[in-house]
Amino acid sequence: MKMKWALLTIIFSIATVLTGCDNPLAVLDPKGPVAANQANVIMISIWTMLIIVLVVVILYAIMLFKYRASKSSDDYVPPHVEGSHVLEAIWTIIPILIVIFLSVVSVRSTYEVEATPKGYEDQEPLIIYAASSNWKWHFSYPEEDIETVNYLFLPTNRPIEFKLYSYGPISSFWIPQLGGQKYAMSDMVNTLHLVADTPGEYMGRNANFSGSGFAEHTFNVKAMPEDEYTKWVDEIHGTAKKLTESEFDKLLEPGHVGQYTFNGTHLDFRPAPEHNHGASGNGESKHSEHEDSKKADEAETEHQH
C-alpha cells in the first residue's frame, strides 16, 4: 500500500511540474509549428523515461517481496547459477531498442525544424537579421528597411528566417514558445526557421551565459496579423529616426538599454558575416534584390545631384 501511494505521489508531482495550472512551462505551451514539434519530442522522451522508471520500480518491488530473506528457511543455500541467456538478451536488446527509438524521433525532428515548417514552403519568408551584443539584441528588417532593439514584431502565419550572428561573445537566440535555441556567433550567420501561428506576446532571451549582464539579455516578441504588422511598419517609417553608424556604435558598447526603433538598418554600413549556414535560396535572393535596389536608388540620387 505504501509503495502504491509513493508511486502515485511521484506521478502526480511530475504531472504538476510539467503542466502547471496557471503558468505552464513555455516550451510545453507552443504557439507555432516548430515549437509544437519540439514539445512533442520532449513529451515522447518524458513518457518513455517515465515508463522505464515505473517498470524498474515495479520489478524492484516484486523482487524485494518475492525473494525476501524471511521467506526462506534458515538452512537455505542458493543454487549455483551459470546465467540466463534469455534474461541477458532481454536487458541488452530492450535498451538498444529504446535508444534506437529515441534517436529516430530526435533525428527526424531535427531535420524538420531545420527547414521551413510544413505548409509554409510556398510562402516567401520574412528575413530578420538578429545580431547580439553585450547585452542587447539588434533586429534588422531589410525588406522593410527598419531596425529594432530588444523587441520583435512578427506577422502571424508567415515563415520567418532569422539570420543569427554576434558582435560580442557567443549568444543563443531563443523564443521558447516559437522554437528551440540556436547560436549567434561573430564570424558566421546561422539561420533559424520559425513561424508564429497564434497572435500574442512572448518572451525571448539569450540562453547561453555571456558575462555579467546575461540575466537581462532578453527581448520581447509580439506576433500579430499581417495587416497590423503592415500598419506598424508604416508607423515606423513615419515616426522613427534614421539609424546612423555612430548611434549603432554606441549601442554596441557593453550595457543594458531599453527598446529602440529606427529607420534603416545597420546592414547598410556594418553588414553581417558572409558565411551563411542553413540559408534558404529564396531568402538570400530576396535580400540581395533589396540591397541591389537600394544601391540603384542611391546611384540615381547621386546622378540627379
pLDDT above 70 (res 10) = no
Question: Could you tell me the pLDDT band of residue 301, with boundaries at 50, 70 and 90?
Answer: very low
Higher-pLDDT residue of 297 and 66 is: 66
pLDDT above 70 (res 183) = yes
Question: Could you tell me the pLDDT band of residue 305, with boundaries at 50, 70 and 90?
Answer: very low
**CB burial of residue 233 (10 Å; 0-12, 13-18, 19+):** middle
Question: Could you tell me the pLDDT band of residue 12, with boundaries at 50, 70 and 90?
Answer: low
Return the pLDDT at 6. 61
Cα–chain center distance at 277: 17
Return the pLDDT at 248. 96
The phi, psi pair for 278, rounded to 5°, reads 80, 20
pLDDT above 50 (res 289) = no
Tell me what the pLDDT averaged over the chain comes to: 86
Higher-pLDDT residue of 273 and 8 is: 273
Return the pLDDT at 80. 80
Is the pTM above the cut of 0.85?
no
The owner of cell 531568402 is 283
Return the pLDDT at 179. 92
Percent of the chain exceeding pLDDT 70 equals 83
**Which listed CATH number (2.60.40.420, 3.30.530.20, 3.90.920.20, 3.90.1300.10) goes with 126-263?**
2.60.40.420
Return the pLDDT at 26. 86
pLDDT above 50 (res 299) = no
Rounded distance, CA 305 to CA 290, Å? 23
pLDDT digits (tens, 9 = 90+) for 65-115: 887 877 777 777 877 877 788 888 988 999 999 999 999 999 999 999 999
Strand 189-194 relative to strand 136-141: parallel, antiparallel, unpaired?
Answer: unpaired
